[in-house]
Amino acid sequence: MTESPPKLTPPPNGSALLRENLFEEKKDDDDGELLKRREPTMLLKGKKLIAPPSDGTKRYTVVFDLDETVVYARDGPLYARAYLKDLFRFIKDDFEVIVWTAGERDYAKCILEEINEDHIIQHLVYRHEKWFREEDYTKDLRQLGRDLNYTLMIENTPDCVRANPQNSIIVEDFEVLPETTEEEGSMPTSPVPTPPPPPAQAADMIPTADEAKDTAALQASS
- For residue 1, being part of any structural domain is answered with no
The pLDDT value recorded for residue 88 is 96
**At residue 205, does pLDDT exceed 90?**
no
- For residue 12, being part of any structural domain is answered with no
**Domain tally for the chain?**
1
Q: Which residue has the higher pLDDT, 94 or 11?
A: 94
Angstrom distances, CA of residue 101 to CA of 10, 60, 87, 181: 25, 20, 19, 33
- For residue 206, being part of any structural domain is answered with no
Print the domain residue range for 115.
Answer: 45-170
> Domain containing 141 — which CATH number?
3.40.50.1000
How much is the average pLDDT of 132-150?
94
- For residue 212, being part of any structural domain is answered with no
Q: What is the pTM of this model?
A: 0.74
